[in-house]
Amino acid sequence: MCGIIAYAGYKECQPILLESLKRLEYRGYDSCGIAVRVESRKSRRGRINPTPTIEVYKDVGRVGDLAKSFPQIQGLKGGGRGTPVDGQDARPTRLQTPGSGLGIAHTRWATHGEVSKSNAHPHLDCSGRIAVVHNGVIENFQSLRDELTREGHHFSSETDTEVIPHLIERYYDGDLEGAVTRALADVRGTYAIIVLAAGHKKLVAARRESPLIIGIGDRENFVASDVAAVLDYTDRVIYLEDGDIALVSEGSISITSRESGRGTPDSRLQTLDYRPVQREEQVIPWSLEEAQKGGYEHFMLKEIHEQPKAIENTLSGHISLIERTVSLNVRKEAGLEDIVLVACGTSSHAALIAEYVIGKLCHLPVRVKVASEFNCHEMALEKTWVWGISQSGETLDTLRAIKKARTLGCATLAITNVPGSSITRIAEQVFYTRAGPEIGVAATKTFLTQLVALYLLAFSFASPDIMNAEGLIEGLRLLPSRVRQVLDGAEGIIPHARHLSRYDNAFFIGRGLNYPVAMEGALKLKEISYIHAEAYAAGELKHGPFALLGPSTPVVAMATRDDTYEPMLTSIKEIKARGSQVIALAEEGDEDIEQFVDAVIRIPPIDPLFSPFLNSVALQLLAYYAAKERGCPIDLPANLAKSVTVP
C-alpha cells in the first residue's frame, strides 16, 4: 500500500528520501514521487530568486527510475533530465543549489484513478506552494472537489488526495497548521498525510486510521508510514495516534490531538479542538541487517530460511519443558465463553488452523471471521473474546473489526509482529510474535510465528491432563529443528516447483487442520507465481471442481499420516482416475503413498498436530521456486501490497 517518507534536517534530503522510498518498495506500489522545498533558486539566466519554492518530481514505475531525475546527486545512478511535474513549467526543473533539507516522498498504490504520472503523489494546490502526500481514502472527495471547483480551484489528477492541498489552500492565511486542521475537519475517510509548504520550514503530519510514525534523529527528524523507511537513520520513533497532528522540523517535534483517549474507537470527530499531547518515544528492536537481503536473492527466500530462528524467538520464555507448562502474559477473563478470530489473507489461514487446535484441545467454542465480513450478529458480546491476528498490525479491515468488537463490549486481544502498530493501541491485550521485520509481500515467517502464538494460547487454555498426556510442549520444542530439516530438503522441492511452473491452474487439497494449510499453499502460489491456484477440502472437490480435472490441472495434496490419511488416499485415487497429476506432501518413510501419486515432497516426521508448520514451509518453497522459474518479481508481486491500509 502507499508508502510515505518525509525528512526535515540539516542534510540534503533528496538522497535520503530516495533511499527511504526504496525501503518502502516492499509495501507494493505503481508510481512514486518527491517534493522538496528549495530555499532559493537560480534562474536560467543565473539570477537568484530568494523566494522558497517547491519542486516536484514524479513518475510511473520504480523508485530507481525516479532517481534518474536527480543527476546531480552523488551516489545515485542516473543522469537523465529532470522530470517536470504535470501542469507545471514544462522546462526541466533540475534542483539548483543550495539543496533542501525539507521534503516529502511517496510510493502510490492506485485506488482512485489509473496508474499515471499525474495521479502519482505529491499533489499540489493551485499556487504550487503546498504539497501533500497521502495514504488512505477520502470518502467524500467528489463533493469536496465539486465544491472547490465551483470556488475556482483547478484539479490536475483523478485522485481523492488532491482535494487536500486545495482545502489547505482554501483556509491558508499564513498559519499552516491551522489550515491543515480546518481542511481535515472537512474530510471523511482515512488518511496519513504529510504537508510541505514553500513558506514554512516545518512539515505538518496527521493521521486517521492509517499508520504514521516520527523517526527521531540528531538535528534531523523523519515522518514515515512505517519504521522500515527510517531504520537506516534511527531506531527512535514515536507512533502517532488517530487524530494527531504533528509539527516536525529539523530540531523540534510537537504533537496535538483531538481524540479523547487511547484506543478511542470513534475516529470521525470533526472538532477543531486540538490539545498538546506527549507521545512516548520507543526504541525499535529491529536492526537494519534484519531488513536487508543478507546475500539471498529475494527477501522471501531469506525470510523462509529465518523461520527456525523466528519460531525460537517467539517461543522464548513461554514454555517450561520440565513442568510442561506454557506461561503467557495474556489473561482470559472469567465469563468469556467463546472466541472469535478475525484476520485477513494468510493471517486468516493461521486463524483457521487455530480454530481446529483450540477446538480440539480446549473444548472452547471458537469461530473464524474474515475481517472484512466481521459482524457481531450471534455474539453474546460481553462473553465473547475477539482476537485480531495481523502481522503488520495495520490491516484496516482487521483494525475496524477489533474497534467494533471493543466498542460493543467484547474483550479483545491482538496478535501482531510489529511493535507499536495500530492494532496494539486498539486491543486491550497484545501478544507479540518475534519474527523480526518481514519485507517480502508474501507472508512466511510471520505466518509460522502466528501459528506458534496461537498454539501457545491454545496450550495455555488446555487442561493440565491434556498437556501432560499429549507431549505438546515437546512438539513445540522440536519445531525449529524440524523446520530446518524441511529447509535442508529445499533442493528436492525445486524439480516439483519447475514442473508446477508449466501449468496455468492448480488445486491444493487438504483435510482437517491441513485444509487451511492447502489454502495457504494456494495463496502463496497464486500471489507470487501468478498461477491460478484454488484450495479445497479434499472431500469437496468432487462436488463441482472435478469438472476441471485432467492432464492440464495438477493437484497438490496434503497426505499427512493422521486420521485424515485414508480419506485423503480415497480422494487422490478419484483425482488420478480423472487424469490429473498429483504431488503429495507425505512423511518420510511413508512408502505406500508412492503407488498412488506422481510425485512426493518428503516431510520430516512430527506429531500430526504440528504438521501445518512443516507442510507450510514446503509449500512456501514450492511457490517460491515455481515463481522463480517463471521469472516473477517475487518480493513485489503485481497489484499487491504488504499491508492493506485501505478498506
Cα–Cα distance between 11 and 601 in angstroms, integer? 53
Quick one: 344 or 606, whose CB is closer to ligand AGP? 344
Class of residue 264 by CB neighbours under 10 A (exposed 0-12, middle 13-18, buried 19+) = middle
- Contact 368/393 with Cβ under 8 angstroms? no
Return the range that interacts with ligand AGP (CB under 6 A); candidates 323-331, 351-359, 387-395, 549-557.
387-395
Q: Report the nearest approach of ligand AGP to the CB of residue 486 (Å).
A: 18
Establish if 96 lies at the interface with ligand AGP (CB under 6 A): no
DSSP one-letter string for 485-508: HHHHTHHHHHHHHHHHTT-SEEEE
CB of 640 to ligand AGP, least distance (A): 7
Cβ closer to ligand AGP: 392 or 501? 392
Contact pattern from residue 521 through residue 560 relative to ligand AGP, giving x for each residue in contact according to CB under 6 A and a dash for the rest: ------x---------------------------------
- To the nearest whole angstrom, how small is the minimum distance from the Cβ of residue 441 to ligand AGP? 5
Residue nearer to ligand AGP on the CB measure, 41 or 404? 404
Per-residue contact flags (x/-) with ligand AGP for residues 428 to 457, judged by CB under 6 A: -------------xxx--------------
Cβ–Cβ < 8 Å for 622, 525: yes
Give the integer Cα–Cα distance in Å for 601 and 560. Answer: 11
The closest of 121, 105, 98, 106 to 11, measured between CA atoms, is 98
Q: Of 398 and 485, which CB lies nearer to ligand AGP in the complex structure?
A: 398
Find the catalytic residue in 2, 344, 376, 632.
2
| Between 313 and 416, CB nearer to ligand AGP | 416
Minimum CB separation of residue 291 from ligand AGP in Å reads 16
| Percentages of the chain per state (helix, strand, coil), in multiples of 5 | 35, 25, 40
**Active site annotation includes 32:** no
Choosing from 103, 345, 420, 510, the residue that interacts with ligand AGP (CB under 6 A) is 345
- Of 83 and 225, which CB lies nearer to ligand AGP in the complex structure? 225
- CA distance linking residue 532 with residue 514, whole number of Å: 20
Q: Residue 398 interacts with ligand AGP (CB under 6 A)?
A: yes
Binding ligand AGP (rule: CB under 6 A), the pick from 69, 161, 347, 581 is 347
Closer residue to ligand AGP in complex, CB, 224/525: 525
Catalytic-role residue among 22, 403, 404, 642 = 642
485 interacts with ligand AGP by CB under 6 A: no
Question: Can residue 620 be called a binding residue for ligand AGP (CB under 6 A)?
Answer: no
Position 423, amino acid: I
> Annotated catalytic, 2?
yes
- Nearest-CA neighbor of 418 among 239, 186, 569? 239
Hunting for cell 521469472 — which residue is that? 631
Near ligand AGP in 63-92, by CB under 6 A? none
CA 553 to CA 347: how far, in whole Å? 27
* CA dist list (Å): 243 to 167, 205, 269, 384, 628: 18, 11, 8, 29, 43
H runs (alpha helix) in 437-578: 445-461, 464-470, 472-488, 490-500, 515-529, 565-576
Residue from 391, 433, 514, 571 touching ligand AGP (CB under 6 A): that is 391
Which residue of the chain is nearest ligand AGP when measured via CB? 345
- CA geometry: angle 259, 189, 240, nearest 5 deg: 40
- Is the preceding peptide bond at 285 cis, omega within 30 degrees of 0? no
In the complex, minimum distance from the CB of residue 434 to ligand AGP, in angstroms, rounded to a whole number: 15
- Binding residues (CB under 6 A) for ligand AGP: these are 344-347, 390-392, 395, 398, 441-443, 527, 643-644
Active-site residue numbers? 2, 642
